[in-house]
Amino acid sequence: MRVLVVTAVPVERDAVTRAFTDGPQILDVPGAELHRAGAFDVLAGGAGPASAAAAAAFALASGAGAEPYGLVVSAGIGGGFAPDAPVGSLVVASGIVAADLGAETPDGFVPVTALGFGRERFVPPPGLVRDVAAATGALTGEVLTVSTVTGSAGRAAALRTAHPHAVAEAMEGFGVAEAAERLRVPVLEIRAVSNAVGPRDRNAWRIGDALAALTEAFGKLTPVLEGWTTPHDRHR
């Protein structure tokens, strides 16, 4: 099964491909540069849900080969909600949630679904989430997609109140999931925690540790995905 992995920036893309012994083959497709390593095609699609959605859609539509993609993975580093997801830990999303897609009202934030249109959540295949978490030692929980990275204790608390099952935030997962859904391809999100969600303190970030955790995780994924190939598996 071929897997499309979408990261935000090249350093995350390279952390994924480092998990494989052979150096990546670089393929140019419309709208994207794919780094192929084994069964994984990895691209740096840009920061934010719009860039991620566009890059994922271009790559999925291009095909980049005879075998269609069987899975799309949004991957990279992100913020973890303390104390559940400490810096250096790994998270696999049980739900991919657009946390700030909606409207502000006098009574507070209203999600897009409450406005009567759109969607705010994608649910990856539960069986695959369990298997990946077991293989990598990852925590499972909701990963929030935000367009603005949280930088204050007040905003962190508000997000946790609105999404009590959230364990991490990032900026691309929901966009990747939108593209995958339209092409009817299952989606997964994997995040290595580089910082705590809350007051912005770059001195406390551990980006190198998070990238190393991402590499280690993808090194353990191939056996899991090789056993996840049937339609029945995809809906467990």
CA separation for the pair 117, 111 (Å, rounded): 10
What is the DSSP pairing of strand 40-44 with strand 25-29? unpaired
Q: What predicted TM-score, i.e. pTM, was given to this entire model? A: 0.92
Q: What is the mean pLDDT of residues 106-116?
A: 87
CA separation for the pair 137, 154 (Å, rounded): 30
Q: What is the pLDDT of residue 167?
A: 97
CA separation for the pair 144, 100 (Å, rounded): 9
Q: What is the pLDDT of residues 13-31, one digit of tens each?
A: 999 999 987 778 888 777 7
How does residue 230 score in pLDDT terms, banded at 50, 70 and 90? very low
Omega before 68 cis (within 30°)? no
